[in-house]
């Protein structure tokens, strides 16, 4: 867990209370919950979507681009240019620390690009594969948990087995991963959200990234799916840089190990942004070669529109500072309610992320499903318990992902007050027995 907060603002942890005190506490929580349910709220803390106010920040895009040709003279309206618009690739290449020939810009979804990469690996094999993955007896992926639910459903869809490792504040447990991959050739890859991870907020340190880049692997084509969806999504003035996984892999003599993904989904428009893939130049050639079997060229007008909108890498950073102004108060509200209502009671731990879109809440073991059910019955939608684990199986039934970006600030506070009431009732029921 990351930056866990559990400050002592309450006098006595629940576990230390006498049966009579617990009776009283349970009765209090029941009546608080009844009052909550009677309000007939309809609130949603499920998916990490940008708020309307954030989308509005990019509305100048609706007037762009002001011309059809990009700076290389290419007519963006026509077919071709499979790698994507050069101007935008230069901007995001700078942000990701790669030259333009090591980055591709495509459609609005980086998740779809992840699916494409897995599909190509499955059907054809990668730059360092001996055969297509489909020809392997078994394919296994390492999944740091808690993690991004859609990574896990996608992996499962391929029939890829999943083995979990813990996610820590400085990234996944690299020693556990190194031990697994050293001897098991069926382990072909791993997922990682390196910066402000979904949902823990963890930031993978350069030291952990170096271990992942350099560890010996039984599979020659072990692939790190480095999903940097939140690379520039800082919630504080500190702009923590991501580890340079492509450089670290090259340095370690495994230049093709990492495939990097990013997108503007939570920078401009989630439904009309641009997805990126970066890696060694061989990886990019491999990707574009397979892509070209079914595509003639991406939406380069949208690429030019984005390049004009940002102007430069600094333009992206400046734009993200405006997002921060919208998001930081909502994340602060989450912390305030959690600390004020749950602090010191010993019934929950939570992350205090410095970026990204989520707060990771761990409640008493065995109560997460109950909390989500109570919340639902009171009109507050929470992500289903267990969602951040493969097959939705949280072995301790304690993890809840909170996504405060979309509701307006007052609703975030109201929803969090409700969540706290549900956490307390579920804990009281559990401890009361």
Ligand X SMILES: Cc1ncc(COP(=O)(O)O)c(C=O)c1O
The binding site for ligand X (CB under 6 A) comprises 48, 109-111, 148, 193, 198, 227, 229, 263, 265, 270, 275
If the CB atoms of residues 148 and 286 are measured against ligand X, the closer one turns out to be 148
Compute the least distance from the CB of residue 147 to ligand X, in Å.
Answer: 8
Compute the least distance from the CB of residue 17 to ligand X, in Å.
Answer: 39
Q: Which residue has the tokens 């920078």?
A: 267
CA 357 to chain centre: 8
If the CB atoms of residues 102 and 265 are measured against ligand X, the closer one turns out to be 265
Compute the least distance from the CB of residue 112 to ligand X, in Å.
Answer: 6
If the CB atoms of residues 284 and 403 are measured against ligand X, the closer one turns out to be 403
If the CB atoms of residues 154 and 425 are measured against ligand X, the closer one turns out to be 154
Compute the least distance from the CB of residue 215 to ligand X, in Å.
Answer: 23
If the CB atoms of residues 109 and 186 are measured against ligand X, the closer one turns out to be 109
From residue 46, alpha-carbon distances to 230, 371, 375, 385 in Å are 18, 14, 12, 11
Compute the least distance from the CB of residue 48 to ligand X, in Å.
Answer: 5
If the CB atoms of residues 111 and 342 are measured against ligand X, the closer one turns out to be 111
Compute the least distance from the CB of residue 111 to ligand X, in Å.
Answer: 3
Return the closest-CA partner of residue 235 out of 190, 262, 203, 283.
Answer: 203
Return the closest-CA partner of residue 279 out of 292, 260, 263, 254.
Answer: 260
Compute the least distance from the CB of residue 11 to ligand X, in Å.
Answer: 38
Compute the least distance from the CB of residue 209 to ligand X, in Å.
Answer: 17
Compute the least distance from the CB of residue 241 to ligand X, in Å.
Answer: 18
Contact 43, 381 (CB under 8 A): yes
If the CB atoms of residues 177 and 193 are measured against ligand X, the closer one turns out to be 193
Cα 371 from Cα 350, distance rounded (Å): 15
If the CB atoms of residues 8 and 153 are measured against ligand X, the closer one turns out to be 153
If the CB atoms of residues 230 and 286 are measured against ligand X, the closer one turns out to be 230
């Amino acid at each position: 867990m990351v930056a866990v907060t559990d400050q002592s603002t309450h006098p006595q942890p629940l576990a230390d209370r006498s049966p009579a005190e617990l009776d009283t506490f349970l009765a209090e929580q029941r009546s608080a919950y009844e009052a909550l349910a009677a309000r007939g709220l309809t609130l949603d803390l499920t998916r990490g979507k940008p708020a309307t106010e954030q989308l509005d920040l990019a509305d100048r895009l609706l007037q762009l681009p002001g011309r059809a040709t990009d700076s290389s003279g290419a007519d963006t309206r026509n077919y071709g240019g499979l790698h994507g618009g050069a101007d935008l690739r230069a901007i995001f290449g700078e942000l990701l620390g790669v030259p333009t020939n090591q980055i591709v810009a495509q459609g609005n979804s980086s998740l779809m690009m992840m699916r494409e990469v897995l599909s190509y690996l499955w059907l054809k094999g990668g730059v360092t594969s001996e055969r297509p993955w489909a020809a392997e007896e078994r394919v296994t992926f390492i999944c740091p948990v808690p993690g991004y639910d859609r990574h896990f459903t996608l992996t499962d869809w391929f029939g890829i087995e999943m083995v979990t490792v813990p996610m820590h504040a400085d990234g996944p447990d690299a020693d556990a991963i190194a031990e697994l991959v050293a001897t098991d050739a069926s382990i072909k890859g791993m997922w990682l959200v390196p910066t402000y991870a979904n949902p823990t907020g963890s930031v993978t340190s350069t030291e952990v990234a170096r271990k992942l880049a350099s560890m010996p692997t039984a599979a020659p084509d072990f692939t790190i799916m480095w999903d940097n969806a939140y690379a520039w999504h800082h919630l504080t003035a500190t702009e923590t840089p991501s580890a340079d996984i492509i450089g670290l892999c090259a340095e370690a003599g495994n230049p093709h190990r990492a495939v990097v993904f990013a997108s503007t989904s939570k920078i401009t428009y989630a439904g009309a942004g641009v997805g990126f893939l970066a890696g060694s130049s061989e990886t990019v050639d491999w990707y574009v070669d397979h892509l070209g079997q079914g595509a003639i060229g991406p939406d380069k007008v949208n690429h030019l529109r984005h390049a004009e909108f940002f102007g430069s890498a600094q333009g992206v950073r400046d734009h993200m500072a405006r997002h921060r102004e919208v998001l930081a108060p909502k994340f602060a509200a989450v912390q305030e309610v959690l600390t004020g209502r749950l602090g010191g009671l010993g019934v929950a731990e939570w992350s205090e992320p410095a970026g990204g879109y989520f707060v990771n809440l761990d409640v008493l073991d065995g109560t997460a499903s109950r909390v989500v059910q109570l919340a639902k019955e009171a009109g507050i939608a929470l992500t289903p318990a267990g969602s951040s684990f493969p097959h939705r199986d949280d072995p301790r039934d304690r993890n809840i992902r909170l996504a405060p970006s979309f509701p307006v600030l007052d609703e975030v506070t109201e929803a969090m007050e409700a969540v706290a009431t549900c956490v307390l009732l579920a804990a009281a029921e559990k401890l009361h027995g």
